Amino acid sequence: MSMTKPISRLDVLEAESIHIFREAAAQFRKPVLLYSIGKDSTVLLHLARKAFFPQRIPFPLLHIDTTWKFRDMIAFRDRTARDLGLDLIVHVNEAGRAQGINPIDYAPSLYTDVMKTEGLRQALDRHGFDAAFGGARRDEEASRAKERVFSFRTAEHRWDPRHQRPEMWNLLNGRLGTGESARVFPLSNWTEGDVWRYVLREKLDVVPLYLAAIRPTIERNGMLLVLDDDRMRLAEGEKIVPRRVRFRTLGCWPLTAAIESEAADLLSVVTETLAARTSERQGRLIDHDQAGAMEKKKQEGYF
């Protein structure tokens, strides 16, 4: 038996997240964990395992595959599912794929709408999930900062930020009205720094793309893109340059900007993150589309 550990801030956050997982599992009929392979999902999954230990996680994982994720991400996903014996559902919006919707020929917002948002709605409806756990944090973005831990969606999966339910203390009310479903955010009160410190403390494995390495890149609109396969068409004057880069946030490779960095191990990444002068969303092309983009996407059913 281990001695009583001193309680740290990460312990407080961990306990709160576990409490949230257990409340949701007790109250919803058929929850699912939205697994997007990034660092937040990694922490989310780890917390879910802790919440139900020694029982197995009592719900499946769902990955919405846009078909444009980094190959390293897919490999990591499949290895994690195998090693932990997880029940993983992978869903692709087949209608979108058949239409050839991709992030190169289409506007990022349209592509995200079809392959991510629409894909998510399809999967939730098809399986009849009434709650989905997500790794979103309030410190990510101004409209996220307004969201509840149990966040409700209409039958059409819309978020109505003007009429959120009161949520007092840690009394989480998961009772659904007709047709409603819920999004549950156990990491609501974590910051980006907390997530990295926790990854380090718990010795969690993350996708290697978070660590700096020499990768083939192009510079486009002031952003560094890493070429993951040969689907990208180069514009006039664009050159493939090997650079030492890493990612702060992971998504679809043509829409996620890398940063130049020497941080090749987790400790260096955490140190660099804590000292960073820009927000992590800076690396997501989609969020620069328009002001209030995130809120708008969420109202349409984006996670």
Residues with Cβ < 8 Å from 198, sequence gap 6 or more? 10, 13, 14, 43, 190, 204
Among 104, 110, 161, 238, binds other proteins (CB under 8 A): 161
Among 175, 205, 216, 238, binds other proteins (CB under 8 A): 175
* Shorter beta-carbon distance to other proteins: residue 1 or 235: 1
Kindly identify the residues of this chain, within the stretch 205-224, that bind other proteins according to CB under 8 A: 222-224
Find the angle CA(290)-CA(291)-CA(293) to the nearest 5 degrees. 70
What is the distance between the alpha carbons of residues 198 and 206, in angstroms, rounded to a whole number? 12
Per CB under 8 A, does 127 bind other proteins?
no
* Shorter beta-carbon distance to other proteins: residue 97 or 208: 208
Among 178, 230, 236, 239, binds other proteins (CB under 8 A): 178
Residue window 240-269: x/- pattern of binding to other proteins, with contact defined by CB under 8 A: -----------------xxxxxxx-x-xx-
| Cα dist from 199 to 24, 38, 202, whole Å | 24, 11, 5
Per CB under 8 A, does 203 bind other proteins?
no
What is the distance between the alpha carbons of residues 227 and 215, in angstroms, rounded to a whole number? 8
Kindly identify the residues of this chain, within the stretch 85-124, that bind other proteins according to CB under 8 A: none
Per CB under 8 A, does 271 bind other proteins?
yes
Sheet holding 131-133, edge to edge: 88-91, 61-64, 31-34, 131-133, 181-184, 150-153
* Shorter beta-carbon distance to other proteins: residue 72 or 130: 130
